[in-house]
Chain A
Amino acid sequence: MMWRSPLARVRDALRGQKVREKDLRNLVSNLPYEGLDKWKQPNRYFPGNSIKTSKYTLLLFIPMNLFEQFHRLANLYFVGLAILNFVPVVNAFQPEVALIPICVILCLTAMKDAWEDFRRYQSDKRLNSMPCLIYSRKVKQFVERYWKDVRVGDFVKVVCNEIVPADLLLLHTSDPNGVCHIETANLDGETNLKQRRVVPGVCITDPEFEAESFNSIVVCEKPNINLNHFKCYVEKPDKDKVGAGIENLLLRGCTVRNTDHAVGFVVYAGHETKAMLNNNGPRYKRSKQERRLNIDVMFCVILLLTMCLVGALGHYLWLQTLPGLPPYLVPHSNGHLDSPSLSSFYMFFTMIILLQVLIPISLYVSIELVKIAQIFFITNDIDLYDEETDSQIQCRALNITEDLGQIEYIFTDKTGTLTENKMVFRRCSIMGTEYPHKENAIRQAVLTEPDSDEEVIFTQAPQALQTQWSLDSDDVNRKDTMHHHGSRRKVPGTAHSDVAFSSPLETEVTPDKKLLQQISGAESTSVSRKIDAYLDFFLALAICNTVVVSMATAQRQRAAGHLHSFQTNNPLNPLSSFVRTVSSLRRSLTSYQRKSKRNRTISVDSSIEEDHFNPPVKLEGSGGNTGAQTCSLHVPRSSSEPAVTPDMVCYEAESPDEAALVYAAKAYGFILLGRTPDSVTVRLPSGEDLRFEVLDTLTFDSNRKRMSVLVRHPISKEYVLYTKGADYAIMELLGTPYAERLKGNQKNIAADTQQHLDYYAKEGLRTLCIAKKVLSGREYESWSADRHRALAAIENREQLIMDTAVQIETNLTLLGATGIEDRLQENVPDTITALREAGIQVWVLTGDKPETAVNIGYACRLLEEEDLVINMSCKNKLTCTSILDCTLEEVRRYVADPRNVDTTPDISLVIDGRTLAMTLSSDLQERFVELAKHCRSVLCCRVTPLQKSAVVKIIREKLKVMTLAVGDGANDVNMIQAADVGIGISGQEGMQAVMMSDFAISRFKHLKKLLLVHGHWCNSRLANMIIYFFYKNTANVNLLFWYQFFCGFTATAMIDYWLMIFFNLFFTSAPPIMFGILDKDISAEMLLGVPELYRTGQGSGEYRFSTFWVSMLDAFYQSLVCFFIPYLAYRGSDMDIFSFGTPVNTISLFTILLHLSIEIKAWTVVHWVIMLGSVALYFIVTLAYSAICVTCNAYWTLQSQMVDPMFYLVCIITTVVALLPRYTFHVLKNSIAPSPLEQARHLDRMDPITRDQWIKEWRSFRGGGQVKRSGLSVPPSPTLGTSVEAYPPSPTASEITGDEFTLNVISENYNRPVHT
């Protein structure tokens, strides 16, 4: 290394700082500089790829860790006290001893930190030394290096199933289309394959990548945390800029799949990678109890200061009354005494040292321990384990377990949370004609028979299976057959979480006969095959999506160096993919029947080939055969025939709706065969393959609520835009009618479709509208220029891209609509009923239409038949205000009505997003909240993610209640973060919600046990433990305080200092922790059986202001007893200080422990061991200590006391007197006015059969018709269809959308919900 002047180094460092801070970074290839000194490297300012997440180094561990620890206030208090001990004037007994507690706590924490840091260090080391391939100019090829050697500007090659070592800008892949598939499970838990594309036109895609020819400059933004956005452009030597985005970026931590190899340019390395920036460890939230606790600690501080002040004052007065210079006043070394005022000033501090235990510092440590144990128990609960996905509950926030027991409001998402988010295509409407798909419905009904799914599969269609086996036997190898048998056995715990559909039949659609005829008719009749709406409709279904096609046989091979993700590593993956194969085999039965020829190859479709007069150069030769190409890379058997049959096709969709639509299209013969960034290949029912050139994809976003794909029709050469989206988003954009001949019909079609859509919504189906638009060449040209500009922009790029999308999505032609069913998850109605009985208000916030939401509301018993449903939707603020006032008035009257006193006011509110936005404005907020307070349930429809979180925030702040938000998708993240407790459901929609949540569950029903049982337990355990802790410390410390009145307030302790410290550190620390971990006031069965018990925890629960002060008063009383009975018994005797302290200390121990045993509700073996162990420990340690330490004050005191019968007599009577009031109080309360909890405990002791009987009786008594009603309103199968039949058909669509506002308040006849 050459010598450089220090100044140059400093300058260099400063410049590096500036370069790193700049908004844009210019990166160039490292290759020309290879082998040069570090300071000549152009990319030297950017961090390398080695990571270091460990906080400490070996040498600096102690000072750094201490520094870290002293950031905590509690520790500072401790240290402050320890220092105070060393101040000579305060006359501490043994300053060194005062260090013990703080040292113990610091050491424990340091050990924990060191262990964690060591683990981090090891994992860093392992990561840094993972192998990877970096291009080297010297060797002229990729050489194997380690991850830590990767630098910004390097070219890195990743092969299949390897993990990407840094954020790479994709330049080259083995795939001829420049596509690389990645799995981002390690980043966001999503297991579906995602496509990434090479930056177009930067590297000429030779078969081999030439790194040295790369001479462009990569300009990218500063590293940021957003995993889904990346802005960058590549400036070629000829100043041509090519935009690149997240679709060109391979993120560190992703796994390359289905792609042989890919080469990328390192843009971010090490800590600047998006994956590392997203690493922010577990979340820290403060629970409500903790906030209360801090207030009470403040009270303790005030109490302590008061006591010290009393001591100081007392000391002053005592000194004042002394007539002379008594021999017991010890002067200073210089022989004179302090003045009374000065010495009482010092006394104040001495008192603080003496009474320091009053501040329960150990409480914080204990709470942490207790919470860890609580989380242990929650995660290990077998009832919260989901067999299907093999996932436990995850506790991501470590310190809000007790908040689970205080929830008053639950805000839940609908799709994926209440429902399965397993979409099944149910109905569709094309050009205003409805196709009910009855056959499909019948089949689905059979399927939903519980517990017989698998059997059904194989009993239902054995014939079909066998036929297919014989037909396609060459496609199915032996291995698959074995898997087949495996699947028949129905392995328990079989996990298929990789794709949206766990059961093959869920994807299957039985086509509607009428529609099939229509299609075949259209196919045969339409001359040019380009203007038929039916064909267009299905083409749109097949094309307008982002579904990735993979081959079922191309099983994803997991590499040996497999990444651990929290998501289950699915060992049965091949099996599930095989199940898919089987299903597609069966499906092909229907679609193949019409096929003239089997094993048709795609590339030789002459009609397409001929039409290719202007294909992109780079795709030449590959034709539409991408599917086969990718496939052949990984199909184990080296098949020479590139045949792609639909059987092998397997769809990987980011959202289940899309997959459902693609499968539906497939059922009608429109089979999506392959998708590359530039093309989509679809097989038509006629067996012909069409390859559409994809000009652009306007991806879905929640503002537009639609997505579009712009393709060029291979036959007609038209530029066609297919759009699908929410009905209201599409309906607004309709323009020209479909075709000339249908002129004037368009409006009709729209109206008819709207009617069908409303009907679908009533049935609880999710609706989507499909539309198309044909663009002229000129239109396209101008638009694409805009688009190109927007894509290359770095500033304000999202906005620009969206603008271009909006620009083109106008004047659409409606093709039709689809209805997709999303079934309710199991036990959702039960869970909601239980939560409501537990006094929790449940709100549903959904993006769906009001009709859909209301239906789901009824199906999951959020709304009851006789509820009063208020439907609010208005278009302007004025009406909104009046409607709100009016409703509020009505509701108040309703509630105040004496006829309704006995009945619970079952008012429900349905409100849509637009109205909600108005009501949430600051002037209407109060009224809305007031109204919502009266409502039993609230449904908010068509709300945006931001509105979701706004609702949560407002309710939380205005009503000062504990809120819980539960959701499964990215759109729920805001809400989850806004609520006190955020729960993510690890469902079908990726893992964003789970990542941001405090707890992640796999099914909605788990919420019941999580809240009702664990929430209650955690809450009551922790509350009781905290109260007990305060009591314990106060009771113990006050003994010393009372003694001050008899020693001239000189801060003398009658207990040996060591024993005093041991008392808190060992003798009485384990029982309360055990109490906080294991105490079980009521059994889980009882809590689940009687959800009302949950109400005891709501509000402030068991840890209230009053309970705190009652226990403090009790502590004062007990300490008075514990001090004054021995005092009176030994007064005037020849008792010495420490002999007097011994019985007092022993009494204190017994009182404290027996007090706890009054509070313990259930004694298990652990309880006995710890309680008796504590007593034994006290005696053993004290006896040993006072026998061994000859020069100690306590020498032989306990021994001499223990041979004195008076000791036992004093101990017994004092303990009895101290505990008598609390004991009697408990007895009287339990006998005369038992609380619900105590009654439940009574029941708990009965044998299970009697208890269940009792619960049943009690419920029927209390709920009246409720139980009966549940039998009616909940159909045996939780599908939506059945419950909807009873629902009155809606009048017309216009009444919902057209009116200025609608308001339905039914005060007289509220027996059924009325909609207008």
Chain B
Amino acid sequence: MMASTYNAKDEDGHITVAGPGGGTLRSRKPENTAFKQQRLPAWQPILTAGTVLPAFFVIGLIFIPIGIGLYVTSNNIKEFEIDYTGVDMSSPCFNCSQNFSWNSTRPCTCSIPFYLDQPYESNVFMYYGLSNFYQNHRRYVKSRDDSQLNGDSEALTKPSKECEPYAFHDNKPIAPCGAIANSMFNDSLELFYNDPNGTKVQIHLMKTGIAWWTDKHVKFRNPGGNNPNLTVAFQGTTKPVNWRKPVYELDSDQENDGFINEDFIVWMRTAALPTFRKLYRIIQKKKDMVLTLPRGNYTLEVVYNYPVRSFEGRKRMILSTISWMGGKNPFLGIAYITVGSVCFFLGVVLLIIHHKYGNRNNSADISN
């Protein structure tokens, strides 16, 4: 009674009174099953040079081609990057970058000429890039109200506390609230092709299709359901402090206005790292033209609104084609080639070891 098997803790040394069948003829002999006797059939791999040799060679043989493929693909991606921050005196945007206020009504524009030495054939993706912008700051990341962005009317008028101090302005709820929305990138970029014959052709930039489909159609919803009149839907709210116009005037297109404005959605997907790029526009390949962007001179016209000097940031415009593996990044290709080679090399080393020591294992003795 006080002595007990492992689970007799429950009994705690009680005098336990069993029913009438107390002293039945039940042996305590444990069941002789494979599980209870710990004899389950098992696969016992032993890692020795001999057994893992193929694995190393296989890894080497698979990785190296993948790496080469990745490297070639990455190299085929054309990418053009231009910094238009205007830090240098010589930069056309220098002036604009100097005097700055979020609420300036007078737009400052500057135009930057550049030369593309390679023609871009397929669709070209136009990004804006920011450096040193910590969109992943803990409190910044939190400073949003997803319910509000999802069209919740309750949250529209009573933004979450997380949005503080960008939840209310002049006692009116801010829509969209929070620091992320408040600091939305608001430069306008336009691209002109300087024809060799002197004319400046504006390149058509697609505003839509830059956000995730699920974001645009599920995660972000305008308040008021399908009410086409966004002004009414957003009644009683005020624009974020740094914005120049309210959220329902982001675009004239009904399908790209309010919370479902794609520039806005893209901005709201906070970047992972302090140096990032965000998709701005897409230059679609026209059917009749062979080249999306032919080689030649271009001009980037910037409506310079977004201040980056306060954090020594940089603003860039990037033109890039993409492949199945995304943007240009040779790292992965190199990594695969390197790892593949290392594995192959290790395979060779193990082969030697296997030859030297492999036979010993069979006649090995256990030394203490």
Contact = CB atoms under 8 A, between A and B. Distances in A.
Interface string B70-83: 10000000000000
Contact of A563 (B1, B12, B46, B331): B1
Nearest to A1090: B366
Nearest to A116: B10
B361 A281 contact: no
Interface string B306-344: 010111110000000000111101011001100100110
A1133 B329 contact: yes
Given A380-B37, A1095-B368, A1239-B364, A282 B9 contact: yes
B3 A189 contact: yes
Given A564-B1, A564-B17, A564-B18, A1245 B44 contact: yes
Interface string A305-333: 00000000000000000111111111111
A390 B324 contact: no
B44 A1046 contact: no
A391 B11 contact: no
A994 interface: yes
A1002 to B, nearest CB: 11
A1139 B32 CA distance: 51
Interface SS of chain B: loop
How many chain A residues sit at the interface, stated as a range, is 35 or more
A667 B148 CA distance: 101
B290 to A, nearest CB: 28
A1261 B3 contact: no
Interface stretch (B84-92, B265-273, B297-305): B265-273
B230 interface: no
A119 B10 contact: yes
A119 B11 contact: yes
B289 interface: no
A338 B276 CA distance: 27
Contact of B136 (A324, A558, A1052, A1228): A1052
Interface stretch (A590-598, A853-861, A1229-1237): A1229-1237
Which interface residue of A560, A1136, A1239 has the most chain B CB atoms within 10 A?
Answer: A1136
B2 A493 contact: no
A558 B23 contact: yes
Contact of B9 (A116, A377, A571, A1239): A116
Contacts of A328: 133-135, 137, 140, 179, 183, 311
Interface in B54-70: 59, 63, 66, 70
Given A1046-B274, A1213-B335, A1133 B326 contact: yes
A1039 interface: no
A335 B165 contact: yes
A489 to B, nearest CB: 15
Contacts of B41: 1164-1165
Contact of B3 (A126, A376, A396, A1084): A396
A1210 interface: yes
A273 B118 CA distance: 98
Nearest to A93: B142
Contacts of A1127: 273
B46 A398 contact: no
Contacts of B336: 1209, 1213
A485 to B, nearest CB: 17
A1137 to B, nearest CB: 5
Contact of B12 (A189, A279, A331): A279
Interface string A1108-1130: 00000000000000000101111
A1223 B342 CA distance: 13
A1137 B137 contact: no
A569 interface: yes
Given A281-B12, A571-B23, A991-B3, A1163 B42 contact: yes
A1050 B136 CA distance: 8
A278 B13 contact: yes
B15 A332 contact: no
Interface string B225-268: 00000000000000000100000000000000000000000000
B278 interface: yes
Nearest to A378: B6
B100 to A, nearest CB: 11
Contact of A1134 (B42, B215, B278): B278
A371 to B, nearest CB: 9
A1231 B350 CA distance: 9
Interface in B1-58: 1-6, 8-18, 20, 22-25, 27-32, 36-38, 40-50, 52
B346 interface: yes
Contacts of A571: 23-25
A149 to B, nearest CB: 17
A332 B218 CA distance: 31
Contact of B5 (A566, A1135, A1200): A566
B331 A1047 contact: no
Nearest to A1165: B40
A153 to B, nearest CB: 23
B190 interface: no
Contacts of B346: 1220, 1224
Nearest to A571: B25
Interface string A983-1001: 0000000010011000010
Contact of A1204 (B40, B143, B326): B326
Contact of B2 (A127, A324, A995): A995
A1061 to B, nearest CB: 17
Interface string A362-395: 0000000000100111011110010100111011
B204 interface: no
B116 interface: no
A1284 to B, nearest CB: 34
Interface string A267-289: 00000000100111110000000
Contacts of B195: none
Contact of B1 (A186, A322, A1050, A1080): A186
B13 A1239 contact: no
Nearest to A401: B6
A120 B12 contact: yes
B212 interface: yes
B214 interface: yes
A991 B150 CA distance: 72
Contacts of A111: none
Given A330-B143, A1162-B43, A1134 B277 contact: yes
B105 interface: no
B365 interface: yes
B12 A1217 contact: no
B44 A1195 contact: no
A123 interface: yes
A1210 B326 CA distance: 13
A602 interface: no
Contact of B43 (A398, A1136, A1163): A1163
Nearest to A1084: B38
B18 A1231 contact: no
26 contacts: A278-B2, A328-B137, A331-B165, A382-B32, A385-B30, A392-B28, A394-B3, A562-B18, A564-B1, A564-B16, A566-B5, A570-B23, A1047-B136, A1129-B329, A1129-B331, A1134-B277, A1158-B47, A1166-B40, A1195-B218, A1196-B215, A1196-B219, A1200-B214, A1205-B324, A1209-B70, A1209-B336, A1231-B354
Given A390-B28, A1213-B339, 20 more contacts: A279-B13, A279-B14, A280-B13, A323-B310, A398-B9, A561-B22, A562-B23, A564-B17, A1048-B274, A1078-B40, A1095-B368, A1127-B273, A1134-B278, A1135-B273, A1165-B40, A1191-B146, A1195-B214, A1210-B332, A1238-B46, A1261-B365
Interface of B: 1-6, 8-18, 20, 22-25, 27-32, 36-38, 40-50, 52, 59, 63, 66, 70, 127, 129, 133-143, 146-147, 150, 164-166, 179, 182-183, 212, 214-215, 218-219, 242, 269-279, 307, 309-313, 324-327, 329, 331-332, 335-336, 339, 342-343, 346, 350, 353-354, 357-358, 361, 364-368
Closest 3 CB pairs of A and B: A326-B311, A324-B310, A562-B22
